[in-house]
Amino acid sequence: MKRLLLPALLLLISSCATTSRLAVPAAIPADMRAEPWVLFDSARQRAVPVVLYLPTGANTRSRLKPAILSHGYGGQNTAYTFLARTLVAHGYLVASIQHELPTDAPMPTTGEVRVVRRPWWERGAQNIEFVRQALHRRYRRLQANRLLLAGHSNGGDISMLYVAEHPGRVARVISLDNRRVPLPRARRPRVLSLRSSDQVADPGVLPTPAEQRQFGTVILPLPHTIHNDMWDGATEAQKVEMKEAVARFLTN
């Protein structure tokens, strides 16, 4: 059985931060609350730490839309509160997954990227599916057909792989500058990709202009935002630009 809130695993929430992004999590606004939720996947013998962001007055009977958020490689699942708040304001319950654990081997930096990193993306996609199922067991009135995925960098690659492996399950997907796994070429899910000013996606990742028109894909360059600024450490102006783009996407 999959056990929730295992006491021995609670430490993982604070210990999973790696590399350079060791910032104090942003303050949680009064209209949103954050809840740690540590899951354990017995099939994979793996902890899956999650932080839930939801409206202050929400409970397990609230009829909300599910959103699953994936951080960039080496980052923290608590480092995207600006995005979580935007999603919560539009009726979403956000589950932010901590994909890397302290015991994980580092992701390869040499070799054919789509080959050597595929196991890391697969593990992340499995995390998403595991959390999706856990959400629906706990929040039985979630709108299953409104699932949204969002991810930064490697987290965006994980999200795109999940979409490819589960076509039709995701209604919307938001990429904060993923660079490796191709965006879907389909009318569903609806796709928004925010592109940094300093990084370029691999060939074939982004739809051509003709494909963007055909499928309604939104590719939005951010000329004043670099790849590593697409998190809570961004300037207020950068965060406002990203939040406004996401809000437009969610209301169209």
**Domain membership flag for residue 152:** yes
Residue 1, pLDDT > 70, answer no
**Domain membership flag for residue 153:** yes
**Domain membership flag for residue 224:** yes
Q: Quote the pLDDT of residue 41.
A: 98
Residue 7, pLDDT > 60, answer no
Residue 245 belongs to what H/E stretch? helix 236-251
Q: Quote the pLDDT of residue 14.
A: 39
Tell the residue number behind the tokens 């995701």, with chain if given: 170
* Distance, CA of 16 to chain centre: 16
Q: Quote the pLDDT of residue 26.
A: 63
Q: Quote the pLDDT of residue 30.
A: 66
Residue 24, pLDDT > 50, answer no
Contacts 24+ apart (CB under 8 A), 205-210: 205/178, 205/179, 205/180, 205/181, 207/183
C-alpha–C-alpha distance, residues 35 and 134, integer Å: 15
Q: Quote the pLDDT of residue 2.
A: 43
Residue 88, pLDDT > 60, answer yes
The residues near 99 (Cβ < 8 Å, ≥ 6 apart) are: 70, 71, 77, 123, 124, 127, 155, 158
C-alpha–C-alpha distance, residues 71 and 159, integer Å: 10
pTM score: 0.89
The model's pLDDT over 173-213, given as tens digits with 9 standing for 90+, comes to 999 999 999 999 999 999 999 999 999 999 999 999 999 99
Sort strands 148-152 and 65-70 into parallel, antiparallel or unpaired: parallel
**Domain membership flag for residue 1:** no
CATH of the domain at 91: 3.40.50.1820
- Give 183 or 11, the one with higher predicted confidence: 183
**Domain membership flag for residue 55:** yes
Tally of domains within the chain: 1
The model's pLDDT over 32-76, given as tens digits with 9 standing for 90+, comes to 999 999 999 999 999 999 999 999 999 999 999 999 999 999 999
Q: Quote the pLDDT of residue 130.
A: 99
First to last CA, the chain: 40
CB 175 within 8 A of CB 95: no
**Domain membership flag for residue 149:** yes
**Domain membership flag for residue 2:** no
Q: pLDDT-based confidence at 27, cuts 50/70/90? A: low
Q: pLDDT-based confidence at 252, cuts 50/70/90? A: confident
Instruction: Give the domain range for residue 20.
Output: 7-251
Q: Quote the pLDDT of residue 31.
A: 87
**Domain membership flag for residue 167:** yes
The model's pLDDT over 97-147, given as tens digits with 9 standing for 90+, comes to 999 999 999 999 999 999 999 999 999 999 999 999 999 999 999 999 999
C-alpha–C-alpha distance, residues 77 and 13, integer Å: 9
